[in-house]
Structure formats: C-alpha cells, structure tokens
Amino acid sequence: MDQTKLWFLAVLLGLCTWLEPGKGSLPFHMNSVIQIAEVLESHHLDGHLNLTMTELARGLGCCDSEFYQLLLGEAPAIPPDLPFLSQEQRSFLMRLVKHKVQASSTEQGVVLLPDGTTVAVNPLVAGIEAGLKGRREMPLPPEAFELLLVTTEPLNQTHPELPLTIDALYAVTIAKALGMAFLLAQANESQVPMGPNGCWDSVSEPQNFTLLARPSHLSDAFVNGALDGVILGAHLAGQGVPAAPLSTLLREYYAGDGLAGDSQARSNFRRQNFVQLTEAGQLEEQVVRSLQLLRALPRMTPLLSGVGDEELLSAASRAVQEFTAAYLECPAIIPRCMWGAKPYKGTPTQLKLPLSFVYIHHTSSPSQPCRTFPECAADMRAMQRFHQDDRGWDDIGYSFVVGSDGYIYQGRGWHWVGAHTRGYNSKGYGVSFIGDYMDTLPEAFALTLVRDNFLPCAVKGAKIQANYTVHGHRQMVHTACPGNLLYREIQTWQGFK
C-alpha cells in the first residue's frame, strides 16, 4: 500500500477518534480558542511545529473552497492525528471549523465572546489569514468579464487603465457571503437574506447556539465574525513589525484593553470600527467583484448560470443598502436570553406602532455604570428582580437599557408596553442609561449609540414616527430622573421638546 493511501487511512481513523460520541467538550467560548492558540504557539517556539492557528483551521477544512484557495492560497497539510492537542481540543476544533445551521436551527461553528455577543469562526479565520498575507489586491481573471456591462465602469474611475482588482480581505470575510446571501434570497422569495441572532444554552458553559427566528445564509454571528475578520486583518496588514502571537491579539481584542491598548479597538465597537475602515462605496464594489469572481470559477458556474451583470449589480446594491441599515447604522442589542431574563409574568400588552415618544431615564440604582457584559447582565437581572418582586410589575419596566460597555440591552423590547413612565407607557419607549447622572454624563459613545444609532434606526424600522419627540422622565412625572446632567444633554438632541 503506497504512502498516500496510508496517510488517507490515518486521517480517517483520526477523525473517527475525534468525533467519538460521549466525550466531553470544551465550552464554545473564545477563551477555548485562545487556549488552543497558546498550545500551538508553545509547540512552535519549541521547534516542534510550524503551524499557526489559522493554518490549522484551514487545514481542517475552514475556508477550503476554490474561492478561498484562490485568494488565500492552498490550505496547508496538517499532521493527521494532531498529537499536540488533547482529544477534547480536537473534537472542539472539528465542530468549530465548519459553519452551518442544523435543521434544529442550531448554528454550528460559532463561539460566545466575553462581551456577550457571538461570532462565526470561519470569516474571522479568513480575515486574519488575509491580514497575515498582507491584504493582497488581486486582479480579477479575464473570465470574470465575459458578461461585463458598462454599468460597472465607475467602479474603477480613478485609474481606468488598470485592471479591476479584488481586495482579498473584504472578499473572504463579508463581500462574497453578503452577495451570495442576497442572490439566494432573491431566487427564493421565502428566504430572508440576513439574521437572526440566537441564544446559548448556557453563558458559563456554552455548547449549543439556537437561532431566535428563521435562519438565513448570513446570520448575526457570521456578520460579527466577518466584521471582526476585517478589523483584525486590517490591523495585522498594517503592522510594520512581526505580528504579536495570535493568542495575544485575540485576548487584546476580545477580553483585554483593546488592540495596542486602544479601548475602542475591541469587539464591543466592531460596527463603529468597520465603518471607519470602510470607505463609501468600497463594500458594494467588493461585493460586485466577489460575485464576478465566483461566476468565473468552474464549480460555481451551475449556481450562477443565467445571472447577468444587471441582476448581479442589483443584488449587490440592495445587499449593501440593507446590510448597512441593519448592521452599521443600527446598534447591536443584547437579547433577553443572553442577560438571563426571567419570563414575563402574565400576558404582555402589544404596542401600537409606530410610537410618537421616547422617554429618557437613568437607573439611579444601580448608581454606577456597567462596563463589561457580566456587570451589565447582573444589573439587568437585579433590576428585573426588583421590578417584579418588590414593585409587583410583570417584568423589567424599561423598553431598552444602555450599558457603558458599548451595547444596548433588550428590556421589554420593541413590541410590548413597558412600565417606565406612569401614564405614558403605551405612548413611547422607555430608554434608561445604567448609572446615576445627576452630576456626571454617560460615556460619550453610549450617548452617541442612542442619539445617532438607536433613534434613527427606530425611525427606519417604523418603530417610532419620523417626527418623534424625546422627553426626559422628569417632564412627565415628579422625579429627578434622568439626572441633571443627562437631562441637560438630551435637550440638545433632535426631537427634544
């Protein structure tokens, strides 16, 4: 038997061992990924291994299609039994490298982050690998232009004599996935193109992530992973010195003080940072070019047969518009299941949308801002417990609550009458900042999140009227809420009366 067949059998035997049922598994948390990265780095320093975490993921089947191989290079060969990893770590990796949604709406290939959000590992790995390779601009092959229309010419106005190129970083993270999601949804009208978010079975020991609504080809977790992939890839490509170990990079970005000590360069602010990195029109350009490249690949021909440039350009334009509105202009909202909400008592009353008012509060108690997901989640549970047990309300009173960690937390949400502004609960949303703001202001980014993202998003989503009114709680009832300085601040906001 030749060496190739022996190697193939060894791989199959290794896979059977890795996937043996009944064995324990690491928590599907970013901390587990960082631990495995540290193991690989230690073996690399010892001279026993010349394999990075992203190379290992690709060797196991992550980002292994013809599209990725063209832009990132061939996936490396890996030792068939990975003796440097425990069986638990091998099993974890095998479940992690392939992103898919099961029939039960369980999303595989995702991990929980310290900030309370979830990322798909596939686009994250692709972005990091693209960054490590220097963020290559690659010319599109001639086959991509067989059906090219003049409508694509403005995409290269600056230097029309140069060949059209594709940015590998955007292509392997978000551009191809976004374009395909909308083409597939366009072909199947019952298919939603993006979303949804989901919930873990346990925040402390996450194993299964179940989507909250009908799945699409571009889940929230995939989008998070793609945005992070672009941010981390751009950071790596821009470094003029050898990159820090991947475990250090991941820890800084997901659980530390931010990249290079910049507190805003963390996963909590991925949407804002992606916007800063991406020039106007750049994303749509890369979606178009990714689809053109896909169409030129032999294996993709059946899927994209009959898709002309007009349809391709239309899908790209719609995709970027809807993606921008949903994920870049709107804030990320942590769902109730993630902060550990208790069930609503009784039957909630539905709001009649769109509403005309938004009432701004501060919590006063808790009196201190929460700056991490565990702190903010604990504050949400404490407020719900107080409102339900001490005040006898059906649920936490606020519609939404604003942390100082970069996120908004779902209270009663968009559809149910709250208990925040006596006599006016059915007329508007109650939005409360965690903390006491008599003598100080919330973080500037928290104010921006509500003023510039949440309120315009609510208008676009037909949750509030375009001519909405903002009031401070003290204008409606006798109270010091939302605090002197916060009340002074909201008087400068659009819609305040």
Q: For residue range 165-206, list pLDDT tens digits in order.
A: 899 999 999 999 999 999 988 877 667 899 999 999 999 999
Q: What are phi and psi of 363, to 5 degrees?
A: -80, -25
pLDDT at 1: 41
Element (H, E) at 135: none
From the CB of residue 484, how many other CB atoms can be counted at a distance below 10 Å? 13
Q: Give pLDDT, residue 147.
A: 45
Higher pLDDT, 411 or 149: 411
The position carrying tokens 């009353």 is 349
Give the whole-angstrom CA distance, residue 316 versus residue 318.
6
What pLDDT was estimated at residue 151?
38
Give the Cα separation of 296 and 216 in Å (integer). 25
Mean pLDDT in residue range 443-460: 98
Pairwise CA distance, residues 494 & 154, whole Å: 36
Residue in 322, 318, 329 with CA at minimum distance from that of residue 288 = 318
Please tell me the predicted confidence (pLDDT) of residue 20: 40
How much is the pLDDT for 49? 57
Question: Which residues have C-beta within 8 Å of that of residue 311, sequence separation ≥ 6?
Answer: 183, 186
Written as six digits, the tokens of 346 are 């009784």
Q: Please state, in angstroms and rounded to a whole number, the distance separating the CA atoms of residues 221 and 285.
A: 23
141: amino acid identity, one letter: P
- CA torsion 413-418-424-427 (nearest 10°) is 30
Using an 8 Å Cβ cutoff, are 230 and 127 in contact? yes
